[in-house]
Amino acid sequence: MMSKSWETNTAPPEPASPMPSRSIPANDFGPRLLLVDRDSAGIRSLVAGLSRALAGSVRVEIVTGGRAAAEMLRGESFDLVLADLASLSDLAGKVDEAIARLVKLSAGALLVALSEGGSVSVAVAAMRAGAHDVIALPIAPEAFATRIGELAQRHGKGQALSFADDARPGRADFEGFVGVSSQMQHVYDQIERIAPSSAPVFITGESGTGKDVCAEAIHSRGPRAGKRFVAINCAAIPRDLLESELFGVVRGAYTGAHEDRKGAAELADGGTLFLDEIGEMDLSLQAKLLRFLQTGTVSRVGEASQRRIDVRVVCATNRNPMQLITNRLFREDLFYRLHVLPIHLPPLRQRPADILVLARHFLTRYAAEERKRFSDFTPETASLMTARDWPGNVRQLQNLVRRLVVMFDGGEITAQMVTAADIESLTLGHQDTPAASRAEPVILPLWQQEQRIIEEAIARFSGNITLAAAALELSPSTIYRKRQAWADMDGTRRKGAA
């Protein structure tokens, strides 16, 4: 087996020169990287830069070819496997087969494929076979390190693949974000690094992790800060209206178009256009968005002429974009146009250091708003809060603290108070059922139960979706999206019955 290794905290190799062959260090506390390549100076330079940026005594093993990689993976475990797709042909004839074999052998490692001028279909095949990501080469060393850091955070390898401290003290807040964790420091650094560029940004993260906050931070930190930031939520606007909301409309283009109107893209000219919940955009509008990104021009609905527009596009989704592509709900070509600078916001449960910091921040803010005096959380409550999973992320924590402040008069927040405030959200929508119907419960499909709970919450707040969403710890856009889906299902059923 052809293999070499180096340890970065002692003697990082010169980027373009051959790697020194070293024995494996006895002291083995840092991350472990396996590079599978074809002796490519470009790739080795990237890996040398990455390993210098990582914290700890990084050990890098290099093998040429997929078979050697498989052999290495059978005997040792790694934190990160970087596989140049062009070097795997000796392992299997097809890229997906080779990647699938490496994935199987590298259990627990982050597996990233590198593709030099590779086609989109090869990248998708590698992703489908289990690669965590495919990075197209060439790429700048800094962007490469950022991408690996982002993937490590996303796939729970943030601790093993943490970046060396750059001696700057951790920031407790940043452009609307509150959070001291190393994961959030990484997010702040990424925002600072990408803000000056005009390239599209693709933000991913579970609902409530702060994707809107992130988009605004990118705008505020960049050279377009003096111009407009225009956000459009692709899930909240009915499908038929989204095109005119995005690109504008001329008078008479359709019934109800009473006047010429600019769309979000035109309004954002010179500034930033934020496309939230991009995964919900339908395929025909995706084609128009792609054309806009390719040409930099828009046509209002009902108008033949083109208008040139200069916007920076930032988009966000809480869905897995690769899954959307696989299910043919999102165009691959549009994805690769938008996915130039990716940022992932880690869920709150993966950054427990932020939970109390955020809880105290919201307590201070809402207590001031409600003119009440709260001191702090009791130690027992603090550990209870830190141990929770927070599936609704920061939004759920924020709503809970807001309810606590509204429900209680002040003082120290106890575990009992938290439980009481929580029960309120859990029992929302439950009503006493007559004994007879309790005796023979009818089990409705999950979507119907969900629909009932959501509609009851909306009714309870007199039709105010924002308040209903807050009580249910959902985003308003999720409610809009679900209502649209139920309406579509209704329409389909009616058509079927006719």
Ligand X SMILES: Nc1ncnc2c1ncn2[C@@H]1O[C@H](COP(=O)(O)OP(=O)(O)OP(=O)(O)O)[C@@H](O)[C@H]1O
Q: Which positions lie near ligand X, rule CB under 6 A?
A: 177-179, 205, 207-213, 318, 358, 394-395, 398, 475, 477
Q: Which is nearer to ligand X, 265 or 315 (CB)?
A: 315
d(CA 177, CA 184): 9
Minimum CB–partner distance for residue 400 and ligand X (Å) = 12
Q: How far is the CB of 119 from ligand X (least distance, A)?
A: 31
Q: Which is nearer to ligand X, 57 or 220 (CB)?
A: 220
276 strand-pairing partners:
233
Q: Which is nearer to ligand X, 24 or 172 (CB)?
A: 172
**Nearest approach, Cβ of 478 to ligand X (angstroms)?**
6
End-to-end CA distance of the chain: 69
Query: Nearest distance from residue 358's CB to ligand X, in Å?
Result: 6
Write the DSSP symbol of residue 331: -
- Cβ 207 to ligand X, closest distance in Å? 3
Distances (CA, A) of 220 to 21, 84, 358: 47, 37, 22
Q: Is 146 or 207 the residue whose CB approaches ligand X more closely?
A: 207
Rounded Cα distance, 393 and 404, in Å: 17
- The closest alpha carbon to 204, from 42, 318, 313, belongs to 318
113 torsion bin: left (phi>0), alpha (psi -120 to 50), beta (else):
beta
Angle at 192 between CA 215 and CA 350, to 5 degrees: 70
Return left, alpha or beta for 43; rule: phi > 0 is left, psi -120 to 50 is alpha, else beta: alpha
CB of 112 or CB of 358, closer to ligand X: 358
Q: Please, which residue, 271 or 347, has the CB nearer to ligand X?
A: 347
Distance of closest approach, residue 203 Cβ to ligand X, in angstroms: 8
Residue linked to tokens 């803000």: 195
Q: Which is nearer to ligand X, 97 or 212 (CB)?
A: 212
Nearer to ligand X, 89 or 478 (CB): 478
Alpha carbon distance 239, 286 (integer Å):
12
Q: Which residue has the tokens 């943030």?
A: 158
In the DSSP assignment, the letter for residue 10 is T
Q: Which of residues 249 and 469 has its CB atom nearest to ligand X in the complex?
A: 469
Closest CA to 187 of 351, 386, 363: 351
The DSSP-derived string for 413-431 is: EPHHHHHHHHHHHHHTT--
Q: Looking at the DSSP assignment, which residues form a beta bridge with residue 48? A: none
Phi, psi of 222 (to 5 degrees): -100, 175
| Region at 179 (left for phi over 0; alpha for psi -120 to 50; beta for the rest) | left
Question: Token digits for 487?
Answer: 């309406």
Min separation Cβ 67 and ligand X, Å: 43
Q: Which is nearer to ligand X, 312 or 402 (CB)?
A: 402
| Closer residue to ligand X in complex, CB, 221/395 | 395
CB of 390 to ligand X, least distance (A): 11
Give which of 200, 199, 170, 175 is closest to 185, Cα–Cα: 170
Buried b (16+ CB within 10 A) or exposed e, 245-275: bbbbbbeebeeebeeebbbbbbbbbebbbbb
> Cα 154 vs. chain centroid, distance in angstroms?
8
- For residue 470, the minimal CB distance to ligand X (Å) is 10
Give least dist CB 469 to ligand X, A.
Answer: 9
Strand-pairing partners, residue 232, are: 275
Measured from the CB of residue 394, what is the shortest distance to ligand X in angstroms? 4
